[in-house]
Amino acid sequence: QKEIGFNLLLNEHKFIEKNGQRIALIGVENWGAGGFKKAGDLKKASSGVEKNDFKILLSHDPSHWEQQVINDDYHYHLTLSGHTHGMQFGIEIPGWFKWSPVKWRYKYWAGIYQELGQYINVNRGFGYLAFPGRVGIWPEITVIELKKGVKTA
């Protein structure tokens, strides 16, 4: 990844700064439910990030968000995850209906979810695991536009 210019955030963070304002990009190593590795360390990754900074967390497995991030007192505004691939199988009619048997394993498996004022976007990606294809679940690249909001008292 370094050869092509990617900077992996392995339990660390970087800031994007512009005009005196900043966004914290926080990346954790994998933390997954079941037999998956649990190396993600929120406290280590966020060390040096202020509690009131706008925080975007990169965490591969959405079960991490459900089991540790949502109730963390640091309040991660947006988490970006993947991992599920939408099980590469399901039924989707964009804007109307989305179903996959992966929902029996992952509560948050595709799309945007909100809990306690925090958001997660679970991207189905464009890769695969085992079966080299997809049936009814399209590959996905997500574009997210952040807009500055107005603070209310």
Specify the pLDDT at position 151: 67
Per DSSP, the residues of 1-36 read -GGGT----SSEEEEEEETTEEEEEEE---B-STTS
Nearest to 124 by CA among 145, 148, 102: 102
The whole-number pLDDT of residue 118 equals 96
DSSP 8-state assignment for residue 2: G
Q: Give the per-residue pLDDT at 133.
A: 85
The list of the chain residues with pLDDT below 50 reads none
What was the pLDDT predicted at 58? 97
pLDDT tens for residues 6-33? 889 999 999 999 988 899 999 999 998 8
Model's pTM, two decimal places? 0.89
